[in-house]
Amino acid sequence: SGFIYDGGYVCAQGSILEMGEDSLMYSIRKLFRYDLSATSVVSDYNVKISLYPNPTTSTLNIASEENILSIKIIDLSGNVLFTQAYRGSQNEVNIETSELANGTYFANINDKIYKRFVKE
């Protein structure tokens, strides 16, 4: 879990691990976006998503029960290091991470879900 500042909102996230029928571990991700000028919840997302391997060394696989329309890789300073849009039905994508420095990053999926991963 953690907090991310997202242009006027604070995003709080958490997850529950669950083993799928394919023996892979999946996170059920819940993300709340709080408007800094109000006290109400702006968005509430429940999506089953998996990033593997985590930590990664060269390729990060992202699998989702929803279609993946876009991916952004963001460092801890909030810099967007990678952006990719996808067409059609994509439930799994592979991102090349070998050029990233070792450290912690966030994958932003469909501009609404943030998932943390580590590059070693």
Give the 3-state DSSP-derived string for the chain, with helices as H, strands as E and coil as C.
CEEEEECCEEEEEEEEEEECCCCCEEEEEEEEEEECCCCCEEEEEEEEEEEECCCECCEEEEEECCCCCEEEEEECCCCEEEEEECCCCCCEEEEECCCCCCEEEEEEECCCEEEEEEEC
Alpha-carbon distance 2 to 17, whole Å? Answer: 16
**pLDDT tens digit sequence for 1-57:** 455 555 555 565 555 556 666 766 665 555 555 554 443 333 445 678 889 999 999
Mean pLDDT of 84-105: 93
Mean pLDDT of the chain: 77
pLDDT of residue 43: 44
Q: What is the pTM of this model?
A: 0.64
